[in-house]
Structure 1
Amino acid sequence: MVLPIVVGVDGSEPSLRAADWAADEAALRGLPLRLVYASLWERYEGESLAQDLGEPSEQVTAEDIVRTAAQRARLRRPDVAVSTDVLPEEPEYALVREGRDAAALVLGSRGRSGFVEMLLGSVGLTVAAHAECPVIVLRGSHDNRVRPVARGRVVVGIGEKATDSAALRFAVQEAKLRHTTLDTVRAWRCPAHETTDHPLLAGEPARLHEQHATEVLDKALNDAPAAVDLRRRTVEGPARRVLLDASHEADPVVVGARRNPGHPGLQLGRVAHTVLHHSACAVAVVPERA
């Protein structure tokens, strides 16, 4: 069964940029593209969008939204098969369910209800925290233009338990498809209580932590395909800051999110949560099984 790339659209510019990006991703992978509009409040959403567009509300419906996004995707990638659907549900629940039969979900950073586009909206955050497939949130480029797919290298954060990592496998695939470098990053820190003022020992704790980071990185990459152009980096500092710095020259940044079955709360972790809110490029959140 060929699983599609699914993108959530709502007529906002961020969601249309997400549809563009998803069309490029579908073309890269040779997959179909599925555009989904989900809302229980179409009557009010339609009136709001009509005001934005300066048109009568009866002319702006959910069908208009998905049709416009589909036309845009087909013009951008004529070789990609595009389908659409309108779902009378809350978008976060509809998209999480869609993710059960998707190769990936693609979302804009914020929908029309967002107040500050620099922060991720509640729908994107909920979907990234609960979807069973990779969720790609389009960040950066807030100028209504999508940059070329291969504008930067693929960056993946390597966690402490990175052996057999789904996030790493996803990043390897992305780098191969894009014919670009895979930048594997392991952040490390030396706890303050381990520092010493003795001149012969100063720096020894830091060296040991850096060495451990190198060992974790080497172990994670032990079975990485030779065909991928790998760049290995250990960087001192909080993982959140290290990945945000790397996001300025990347597209996308890939992070893992451990899923704990039966846990009702958001299952993202501090690193993924921060990167989703503040990354300068697209972020791919890949579920990792606990």
Structure 2
Amino acid sequence: MQSTFRSVAIVGKYMDTAALQQMQSDLTRLAHHLLAKGLHVCVEANTAAYVEQEGFEQASLEQIGSKADLVIVMGGDGTMLSVGRALRETGVPLIGINRGRLGFLTDLQTDQMLDEIDEILQGHFQLESRMLLHSVVTRAGSQVLPVVALNDVVIKSAFRLIELEVHVDGQFVSRQRSDGLILTTPTGTTAYGLSAGGPIMHPDLEAISIVPISPHTLSYRPITVPADSVIEVIVVSAADAQMSYDGQGQFPLAAGDHVRIARAEQSIRLVHPQDYCYFDMLRNKLNWG
């Protein structure tokens, strides 16, 4: 059967040399398998140094979106998050091979990856769209740090309570003293938001969850709003507050900063095996029994 995808890119845990060394044999095995099927194979530049195989093209992460119609990511959820953000403008779908810990976003395991990749190449897969968040900080009238997140945008202090004021669509919601606040997509509700007592939202939902981190007043509870809401968080007192996105970037905040969070214009597409079930994934990853 002819492959649904003709050009396939491979991205390993490209910012971690030690991890790439550990997965070298699996990367090589995957590249050899795809090349043997007559596919055009493109390997991310940092990853390519650890692929013992000729016949593939090298490209930067930014170039891959225009060269491939499927991207295979070998790593953990963190790698999937960064690759998804980098390729969001292209719409190219991603499939993950888990070389991390829990792997909520990486469906395949290395011992079965070739058989499962073959099924996907033959058109036996599910395709799913995941929403993103766009955040920007306004300081003294100027916009700084526009970022996009697949999981969450987090405003927090490491050691002291901070005071935050929350507005949704221009309406005042609350003023709270807490360790911080998590603004999360449905994808991100199984990440930091879950640890902070937030709800798990099915990824088909279009919503944003606002989850307080250790609020000083225990009546402050998580609240979920429609995905088209515009959320504004005003930093009243900052202490050592900072903002992060997907747990991968940090930016110090100051009193008076306004953080605007809304749904991003782009989304990312994930490829799942044909028999993928979200509830099976939750049960296995969270040990529900």
Quick check: which one's strand share is greater?
A: 2
Quick check: which one's helix share is greater?
A: 1
Same-fold status (TM-score > 0.5): no
Query: What TM-score does the superposition give when structure 2 sets the normalisation length?
Result: 0.32
Query: What TM-score does the superposition give when structure 1 sets the normalisation length?
Result: 0.32
